[in-house]
Amino acid sequence: MADSSDADAAPPDVLRVRDLPPGAADALLASHGLQLHFVDDATPIPGSFWGEPEAGVIAHNVYVRGDTPVHSMLHEACHLIVLPVERRAQVHTDATDSVIEEDATCCLQIILADDLPGVGRHRLMGDMDAWGYTYRLGSTRAWFEQDADDARAFLKERGLPHR
């Protein structure tokens, strides 16, 4: 029997960038003016706010490894997408300066998950919960379905997907 502390230390079972079909993430990010960069396994990820294996951002670039969670790649990419293009150039590691931008980022990452084969919003929301995202309604899905109207309005005002 495994020690419970070993089980607690194991990373959650979430989709990783290596699980995506080749080119799918590149194409999605490119459609929003972003460049996806892959770094070698066990190499530090440039611009990672939380540290490995979390994705990193610098200007219009998103950095990932094979073990980067898909939700992290989408989250960091969406931080850049919700910003006006002229602000992207100033981003290095920390892209948010407001609560509404953070909320819009979370909402958009869920929406864009539908554009990645084998992911979809329901799987992504489950991965977000497993990773430790927290919302006052208790789950990512409850927040997205019942409490994200302000985030959707923010996205709509900027001409971004908000469905």
Is there a domain that residue 31 lies in?
yes
In a domain, 44, yes or no: yes
Mean of pLDDT over the chain? 91
The structure's pTM equals 0.91
Q: What is the pLDDT of residue 12?
A: 75
For residue 98, pLDDT beyond 70: yes
133 part of a folded domain? yes
Tell me how many domains the chain contains: 1
In a domain, 160, yes or no: no
Cα 130–Cα 144–Cα 27 angle in degrees, nearest 5: 75
Q: In which domain, by residue range, is 125 found?
A: 14-154
More confident position, 37 or 1: 37
In a domain, residue 3? The reply is no
Classify residue 9: in a domain, yes or no. no
